[in-house]
Amino acid sequence: MTKFDAIVLGGGPGGYECAIRLSQNGLKTALVEEAELGGTCLNRGCIPTKSLLHAAELYHTAKGSSDFGVDIGDVSFNYEKIIERKDAVAKQLSNGVGFLQKNHGVTVFNARGTLLETQKIELSTGETLECTHTILATGSLPANIPIPGIDLPGVVDSTALLDMKTCPEHIVIVGGGVIGVEFATFFNRLDVKVTIIEMLDRILEPMDQDVSKIITAELTNRGIDIHVGVKVDAIEPGLKVNYSSVDGSVSGYVEGDTVLIAGGRVPNTQNIGLEKVGVHMNKKGFVEVDGLCRTNVPGVFAIGDMNGEMLLAHVASGQGLAVADFIAGKPAKQLNLNHIPSCVYCSPEIAMVGLTEEKAKVTGRDVGTGMFNLSGNGRAMTMGENSGFFKLVYDKATEEILGCHMVGPYATELIAEIVAVMECEGTITELGKAVHPHPTVSEAIMEAAHACHGNSVNAPKPRK
């Protein structure tokens, strides 16, 4: 029986980064992964979808290049090559993770691991490993919504859709969350007919209402059919998707050649021995943890999607690094989830951190907002991407930044500035006094801070 100081079960972003940090901290570490290193994010989620979206955006930009004085004639796309490049990018990154594990002295086992005891893990190869610390990082899986007809050919989840080699002509997307909106953007950019069916009263419901409103308008203007406040009753052969409102007052159907079930994700906690060692899980199957990802079982930690705190790769990574330092006896601080950014890679891009305006107001604070429309941003105008806004939510009494919501080019990159300011407890005034380079989209952050005080010089006077 091989013994380690720590064993990480699951090689996604949280798991593989935790394993490396453990090794850097001087612990003999093993990483157990049954599939490709990099997990869902790298192989079946974040990275593959961004590769697809980038290809679709290039195609869309090329088609509109004549608006900028660049004539390139007829433009077409090769869907099979788009998929091939997506696979090549994922494989290269996965191989890179393997190199990093070896380079940092982590022992990798390509096998499925199951907890036999708190400190013993049995591999599908028959080998048994022993350790002092166990870090669970098995991630999540696409949710299987109980809809009649969900098993019909052509009805797929996000993983199966990524493996399709042919481009659909009309895709019906069940779910208007992040996954649904990103795939809707991808296919719409490739001139595919897209229909979104969402049970809630708006798409991207967790986002600020102003964000949801403008993205709904943008997607609708681009020809995407959006049905909100309705649920799918059944999918019939021929991929006829029947839907109706919750109260039954509205009903209809739509037919496509592909149906994507984008109804969220569930924890990957089944059949890995959690019940055997007594790890507590909630009713939804997520592992219950404290602020430092400790389970109720001493020596067993659970990081990333499987603990349900926030199903984001960077949260898993942050938790993994914190746990690795805690195990090594180094200072470790739990993540402040109010300072975790979320991004949607649609067009225009969306990024947010902290509270929405609606949630901030229910805290009882005296809440203010400042918004700057990108129609007044020179860089956005030069790119022809000036649809969107940057919005700050703050406490009027203390000037603490409570949240930020961005819609526009580079939003997913620029949100990191607000995260840093919030983490350092910067104020609206301090953010506004930081001189931003011109011409850049980042100036909209400074202008939104000025708008909080009603003195943005690049926006019309606020209405009284």
Q: Decide if 459 is inside a domain.
A: no
Mean pLDDT for the stretch of residues 65-82: 95
The answer, yes or no, to whether residue 367 has pLDDT greater than 70, is: yes
The answer, yes or no, to whether residue 356 has pLDDT greater than 80, is: yes
Q: What range defines the domain where residue 57 resides?
A: 2-141+266-335
Do residues 101 and 238 both lie within one domain?
no
Non-local (6+) Cβ contacts of 27 within 8 A are 4, 5, 6, 133, 327, 328
Do residues 167 and 213 both lie within one domain?
yes
Concatenating the DSSP letter of every residue in 179-215 gives HHHHHHHHHHHTT-EEEEEESSSSSSTTS-HHHHHHH
Do residues 248 and 200 both lie within one domain?
yes
Question: What CATH number has the domain bearing residue 317?
Answer: 3.50.50.60
Do residues 247 and 374 both lie within one domain?
no
Using pLDDT thresholds of 50, 70 and 90, give the confidence band for residue 271. Answer: very high
The SS3 of residue 267 is: strand
Do residues 37 and 172 both lie within one domain?
no
Domain end call among 244, 263, 282: 263
Q: What is the pLDDT of residue 423?
A: 96
Q: Decide if 273 is inside a domain.
A: yes
Mean pLDDT for the stretch of residues 89-104: 98
Q: Decide if 389 is inside a domain.
A: yes
Mean pLDDT for the stretch of residues 77-86: 97
Segment 418-426 long-range contacts (CB within 8 Å, at least 24 positions apart):
418/341, 418/353, 418/354, 418/392, 418/445, 419/339, 419/340, 419/341, 419/353, 422/338, 422/339, 422/353, 422/354, 423/336, 423/339, 425/400, 426/401
Do residues 401 and 431 both lie within one domain?
yes
Q: What is the pLDDT of residue 240?
A: 97
Q: Decide if 216 is inside a domain.
A: yes
Residue type, 189: R
| Residue 438 a catalytic site member | yes
Q: What is the pLDDT of residue 263?
A: 87
Q: What is the pLDDT of residue 464?
A: 66
Q: Decide if 458 is inside a domain.
A: no
The answer, yes or no, to whether residue 307 has pLDDT greater than 80, is: yes
The answer, yes or no, to whether residue 87 has pLDDT greater than 70, is: yes
Q: Decide if 403 is inside a domain.
A: yes
Domain end call among 263, 287, 319: 263
Per the DSSP assignment, residues forming a β-bridge with 114 are 122
What's the Cα-to-Cα distance from 75 to each of 58, 61, 277, rounded to whole Å?
Answer: 10, 10, 58
* Distance, CA of 271 to CA of 234 (rounded, Å): 30
To the nearest whole number, what is the mean pLDDT of the chain?
96
Non-local (6+) Cβ contacts of 285 within 8 A are 266, 267, 269, 270
Give the count of domains, the chain: 3
- Pick the closest to residue 85 from 49, 40, 132, 39 (CA basis): 49
Q: Decide if 149 is inside a domain.
A: no
Question: What CATH number has the domain bearing residue 413?
Answer: 3.30.390.30
Do residues 82 and 119 both lie within one domain?
yes
Q: Decide if 234 is inside a domain.
A: yes
Q: What is the pLDDT of residue 1?
A: 76
Percent of the chain with pLDDT over 70: 100
Do residues 136 and 270 both lie within one domain?
yes
Q: Match 């669970």 to its residue by tokens.
A: 136
DSSP type of residue 76: -
Do residues 281 and 372 both lie within one domain?
no
Do residues 169 and 182 both lie within one domain?
yes
Q: What is the pLDDT of residue 125?
A: 96
Q: What is the pLDDT of residue 383?
A: 96
Using pLDDT thresholds of 50, 70 and 90, give the confidence band for residue 339. Answer: very high
* Distance, CA of 451 to CA of 462 (rounded, Å): 8
Percent of the chain with pLDDT over 90: 96
Spot the catalytic one: 170, 314, 339, 438: 438
The answer, yes or no, to whether residue 377 has pLDDT greater than 90, is: yes
Do residues 314 and 369 both lie within one domain?
no
- Render pLDDT for 384-421 as a digit per residue (tens, 0 to 9): 999 999 999 999 999 999 999 999 999 999 999 999 99
Do residues 187 and 272 both lie within one domain?
no
* Distance, CA of 391 to CA of 412 (rounded, Å): 14
* Distance, CA of 373 to CA of 385 (rounded, Å): 12
Domain end call among 246, 263, 280: 263
- Render pLDDT for 161-213 as a digit per residue (tens, 0 to 9): 999 999 999 999 999 999 999 999 999 999 999 999 999 999 999 999 999 99
Residue type, 296: N
Q: What is the pLDDT of residue 40?
A: 93
Torsion over CA: 425, 429, 434, 437 (sign): positive
